[in-house]
Every structure is written in structure tokens, then in C-alpha cells.
Chains A and B, each alone.
Chain A
Amino acid sequence: MRTLIRAALLVSLTLALAGCGSLGGFGIADVVSGAASGDISSSSKLEGLQKTGEAIQSASQEITPEQEYYIGRAVAATVLTIYKPWDNAKANEYLNTLGEGLSRASILPETFTGYHFLIMDTDDINAFGAPSGFVLVSRGLLRCAATEDEVAAVLAHEIGHVSLKHGLKAISQGRWTEAALQLAKFAGSNSDSGVLRSLTDSFGGVIGDIVKTMVTSGYSRDLEKDADLEAIRILHDVGYDPQALVRVLKRMETRLKPDGKDFAKTHPDPEVRIAYLNDAIKKQTPVAPTAARQVKARQARYQSVMTGI
């Protein structure tokens, strides 16, 4: 009787995890049909199936930072087939120094190889925070920033997406199930061409889901709001003016084209974002005033690098 109950539970778990996704060749269908036909009489088989179920569940909930790193690299490489990089060492170095400083105050300061920033050579107003900290920002968006605080606001929003793992949240439930099956299978077997093929197909599906969301459909309004709120917290804690994000959004609002394929398509209306940001900023303790010479130092380095972007 206990065996039957356990089998029923396992079938329920498996069906729930299978969700709406297509399944790869691992044989979860075999697991289900085996259980349903009563062909799991031995305890060892049942334990094996249960372990597999647990592994699926575990892997679907947790991608290691190392795996997230490979996902982030592939997402960034794919975005860079759409937008070319801007080969300006000075500007990219400035962005990396500033971004690294901001990431220290994020809720996830440590990713597998840290945060990395690159400018995309396009007039489109766009930016992408790919998993593990690969952040891409367009020249068009950086032109909406008139001070270092405002560049920091743009980067902090993307760091928000990375640290809150929004990229991984773009992976469909079905895709998770499929990926989890492949990862569970790979954990218990040696690398061979068949396994590598299945894993790569699964990996491709994961990358496709993330890129589609980031480039075409956009994150949900809730996730964008979460990234905005995390951005003003980071700005505040580092000592930048959180209102800088509002100023960038106001400038962006005047420049976005309604039918554009950039932020106009993938982000909530700047007006909506400005409203909740103003409310949230009012609740923050004011940032301590910065000495005039330090404000001057920020603006001087901003101008030396970003003028003419």
C-alpha cells in the first residue's frame, strides 16, 4: 500500500514538474508510464525514481552560479548578434569601474566571475542585464544620462535585474522541467556525445527563452518595478542621488519612439515608473550632501569619457 501511495505521489510530482513543456529524451514519460502500469514494484526502482524526482525538483529550483555564468555568456553573445559592441576602451573601462562600485552594494555582489559591462553601438535606447552580471548598455540610452549619477542609475537598474535573477525567471516552466531532467541525468553519468547533444539542446532552449523576454517581450511590470526599486536602493547606499533615475526616465520619455523596438516596446511607460519611484525615494533617508570638489570630480570624469557618446 505504501508503495502504491509513494508511486502515486511520484506520478503527481512528475506530472506537475512536466507542466506545459516539451520533454527531451530522458524518459520522464517512461517514469510516468512505468509508475502507472505498476512496473515499479521493487523498492530500488522506486527509490531510483524518487531520487530522480527529487533531483528534477532540486535542479529546477537551483541553477549553480557556474551554470548561470555559462547562461549569461550565451545570452550576451546572442544579444551582440543584434547590437554591435562599441569598441571604445576608455568608455567601457569607465563603465566597468562605476558598475563594479555599484555592484558592491547590490544584494548579490559576488557572481561567478563578477560583473562586466559593455556599451552597444546603437542609437536605440536599450540595455540588458544578462545572468551572472553581463550588462550591455546602448549609446542611445547613455545619451539620456547627463551626469555620472545618471549613468549610475542606468547601471544600477540592470544590476537590479541581475541580482534579482530576472533572466532566470524568464525561463518557462516547461523549459525548466526539460533542463532539470537533462541536468539530473548529466549529474549521474559520464559525458558522452548523446548527453552533450541533449544538454546543448536544453541549453539552447533556456537561452532562447531569456533572449526573447529581454529583447522582444520584456519583463513583467512587477519585475521592472523590482529592478527600479533595487536601483534606487543601490544608488542611495553608494551615495549617488536616487533622483538621478527619475531624471533619466524623464529624458528618455521625450526620446522614445512609440513604435520603437527598444525600451518603448519592452519597458513600462516612464511616467508610471517615475510615479512609484518618487513615492519610494520620499521614504528613503536623504543621501548625505557631497562636498563640492567631489561633485566636481564626478562630473569631470564623466565629461572626459562620455562627452560625445
Chain B
Amino acid sequence: MRKMQWCLAACLLLTAGALFAANQQMSVTVKTARVLATPGYTGRLLGTLSYGDRVTILDQPAGSPKGWLKIAGPGGKLQGWVNVTALTEKEIVVKASADVQQSASSGDVAAAGKGFNSDVEAQYKQDQNLDYTWVDNMEAYEVAPDAVDVFLTSGGLMAQGGAQ
């Protein structure tokens, strides 16, 4: 049974490009998504998208690598490649009105900042007298993607990511 689940998950991921239809709308589900000139993490950075931004899936060129989608950002201006795990099929409403919040429970829409959020964290932190200093420090250890590229290639390693 577990093997079947693995196969299913792997198939879903590996065929990501084929599963999403051209012109389909998706949303950025991470804080910042990098849009690259070519599929793979070594691609030139064209720009970034923010949490909740809607993107349009473009025609995927033949032989597109697994796990990457060619997209157009809001307004069609920014076009390039984004890793599929940075996207969701749900619409993410960043600033939701009460009505939209209600529809957010429908399953097709997710309201950003709802549920377990910074307010809950602040309350929990206070309740537990928890110190988040080092968690914040962890997030501050931001390594520039170029530095990762150099680190990997100088060690004779693959930098573009994805299954080889």
C-alpha cells in the first residue's frame, strides 16, 4: 500500500508539467517565488512573485524538465519558469473580506494569514514563554542562490536541482 502511495506521489510530481493545462490559473503558495529564464535552479533570475500572486500556465515546450512550469505572472508581464512546488491550484486571497473568508472554507480558495498565523504564534509564544530569537536567526541565514551554485559546481556537484 505504501509503495502504491509512493508511486502515486512520484507520478504526480514527475508528470507535473503534463498535468497542468495551458491557460490554467494557479497561485504562488510560498512567500517569494523565483521566476527563472530556464527550468532549473541555475536559470537566470528574471524576477520574483509574492504569496498569493496568480499565474497563468503557458504552453510547456516539448521535453520540458520535470517539476518546472512555464508561467506568466499577473498581467502577463513576467514570463519564465517556476518550480511546481511553489504553486497551488487554489486561489489564495491575501486580504479577504468577511464574504471571501466564508468562501475560503469551500476548498477552492485559501485565505492567506488565516488559521495558524502570526497572531496565534504571538499568543502561543506568550503562553509558553518561548524564545524565538534563534528561529528568527535561522531564517536570517539567507544564502544567495548564486553562492549555492558556486558551492555546488566547485565541488563537482549538480546545481540545477530536480531528479537527474
Point out residues on A near B: beta carbons under 8 Å: 51, 54-55, 58-59, 63-67, 70-71, 73-74, 76-78, 80-81, 85, 92-93, 96-98, 100-101, 104-105, 107-114, 116-118, 134, 148, 182-184, 186-191, 196-197, 199-200, 203-204, 206-207, 222, 226, 233, 236-240, 290-291, 294-295, 297-298, 301
Contacts and interface: CB of A to CB of B under 8 A. Distances in A.
A261 to B, nearest CB: 21
Interface string B134-164: 1101110111000110011011111111111
Contacts of B119: 191, 196
Contact of B131 (A80, A189, A233, A236): A80
A200 B161 contact: no
A117 B120 contact: no
Contacts of A301: 155
Contact of A108 (B85, B137, B152): B85
Contacts of B116: 63, 67, 70-71, 183, 199, 203, 206
7 closest A-B pairs (Cβ-Cβ)?
A: A104-B161, A294-B156, A116-B138, A290-B156, A110-B86, A55-B105, A239-B157
A200 B143 contact: no
B101 A238 contact: no
Contact of B101 (A54, A100, A109, A188): A188
Given A98-B151, A117-B141, A134-B138, A67 B115 contact: yes
B124 A85 contact: no
A67 B139 CA distance: 16
Interface size for chain B: under 10, 10 to 19, 20 to 34, or 35 or more residues? 35 or more
Chain A binding site: helix, strand, loop or mixed by DSSP?
helix
B120 A203 contact: yes
A111 B138 CA distance: 14
Given A51-B105, A187-B104, A188-B105, A116 B141 contact: yes
A104 B162 contact: yes
B58 interface: no
A101 B159 contact: yes
Contact of B151 (A71, A97, A188): A97
B74 interface: no
A206 B86 CA distance: 24
